Amino acid sequence: MKLLSIDEIKTLTEHNEKPCVSLYMPMQKAGPEIRQNPIRFKNLIREAQARLEAMEISKNEAIELLQPAMELDTGEFWENQDQGLAIFIAPGIFRSYQLPMEFQELVVVSDRFHIKPLLYLINHDGQFYVLALSQQDLKFFAGTRSGLNEVEVENLPKSLDEALLYDETAKEGQFRIATKKGSTATSFSSSQPGAFHGQGSPDRDQHQEAILQFFHIVDAELHEKLREETAPLILAGVDYLHPIYRQANSYTNLLEQGITRRPELFQTDELHADAWEIVEPLLHESEQQAMELYQQLAGEGTGTASNDLKEIVAAAYYQRVDSLFVPVGQQIWGKFDPEAMNVDLHSELEPDDQDMLDFAAIHTIINGGKVYAVEPEKMPNQVQVAAIFRY
């Protein structure tokens, strides 16, 4: 399963070689209605072709552009679907996503991809990580609302024994760190952190020191993987391992709450269910805080909050929007002229039109702002669009 990330959203928003075709359709996964999926898909392709030709693109050029999408239309493709299908086609780029969300059926042909329907999924899908700990087996997962994917991290040791290679003096309780690529194994003495000496089996404190050294190695490798990340990390493992790992941890977004069961006994779906129960409440915190701030600023009349779409479109284009609220499933068609700073809104879709809500969302994302796609009835103060400005 491919996890749709905010980085992929940014890739789509930054593609500006036109024409850009965006297709969305809900999928039937069971029952006799499943036979309608290929038919509805063909209808969307025909509509996209008609929109392209309305933009004075020749029939042959339109068919050639849409060909990668047409080639998806196979029995095997329709047998492996989720709740929604999203396809993006432009010169030099083709993306298709089978996603756990039922989209409104939609075809948009414009200068940019139409990405607003994906934002609700991103905002409420909540990327997170799970580190499943045990002395014998260690696994690292990336997850969203949809599920967990195990992630391979280069040089990440899978067990205590792999991390701490015991030498010939192991019976005396000495150990050394496993050799990593491009490095030399280092023997440890009692004067160094994590090392221990003893006659016979090491006692409990000595064993915990060995585990701590193991976790320092794990943390160092994860640090490289998570260097630019902000998603929460959840620990899964037996109780006594959690405080030991926290001593070694350097990732600032490690959550206080963890999963205290033996990870080797987990099925992946059980591990995901436990992790999602922890993560889901966190997803709404920043959205609620931004909504409260908007309401406060709008009430103060300082000019740093607005629900005027024309003002917001221009502000998003010129990097002024810090936070933006847009309604899911709604479009407001029109054009923006950056030279004249003019927004022309249309009651019906016209050739070359863009959804101005999507336009504002795209430019907010490109310029480092945050976009919240919410149900229309949950828009702050029941407005059609809302923004907090940087200045």
Class (C level, CATH) for 6-124: alpha beta
> Could you report the per-residue pLDDT of 265-304, keeping only the tens digit for each?
668 889 999 999 999 888 788 889 999 999 999 999 889 9
Q: How confident is the model at residue 312 (pLDDT cuts 50, 70, 90)?
A: very high
Give the CATH fold of the 128-282 domain.
Answer: Nucleotidyltransferase; domain 5 (3.30.420)
Rounded distance, CA 255 to CA 234, Å? 6
Compute the average pLDDT of residues 37-65: 95
Give 154-209 pLDDT, tens digit per residue.
Answer: 888 888 888 776 433 343 444 444 444 444 333 333 333 333 334 444 567 788 88
Query: What pLDDT is recorded for position 61?
Result: 96
Q: How does pLDDT run across 88-140, given as a tens digit for each residue?
A: 999 999 999 988 888 889 999 988 899 988 887 766 667 899 999 888 888 99
Residue ranges of the chain that CATH labels 3.30.420: 128-282
Q: Are strands 93-99 and 84-90 parallel, antiparallel or unpaired?
A: antiparallel
- How many Cα atoms within 13 Å fall on the side-chain side of residue 370? 13
User: How sure is the predictor about 306, in pLDDT bands with cuts at 50, 70 and 90?
Assistant: very high
Q: Where in the chain is the domain with CATH 3.30.1330.30?
A: 301-389
Q: What is the pLDDT of residues 232-276, one digit of tens each?
A: 999 999 999 999 999 999 999 999 999 997 766 668 889 999 999
CA distance 153 to 200: 35
What Å distances lie between residue 260 and 129, 134, 240, 269, 277, CA to CA? 16, 11, 9, 16, 13
| Predicted pLDDT of residue 263 | 65
- Are 160 and 210 in contact by the 8 Å Cβ rule? The answer is yes
Q: Is the pLDDT of residue 147 over 90?
A: no
Average pLDDT on 61-85 reads: 92
Q: What residues does CATH 3.30.960.10 cover in the chain?
A: 6-124
Whether the model clears a pTM of 0.85, i.e. scores above it, the answer is no
pLDDT at residue 201 in the model? 47
Helix axes 356-366, 116-125, angle to 10 degrees: 50
57 confidence band (pLDDT: 50, 70, 90): very high
Q: Using CA atoms, how far apart are residues 53 and 209, in angstroms rounded to an integer?
A: 70
Tokens of 79: 């047998």
Pick the CATH number of 301-389 from 3.30.1330.30, 3.40.630.30, 3.40.190.10, 3.90.1660.10: 3.30.1330.30
Q: Could you give the strand order of the β-sheet that contains 106-110, starting from the edge strand earlier in sequence?
A: 93-99, 84-90, 20-26, 106-110
Mean of all residue pLDDT scores within the chain? 84
Measured distance between the N- and C-terminal CA atoms of the chain, rounded to whole angstroms: 41
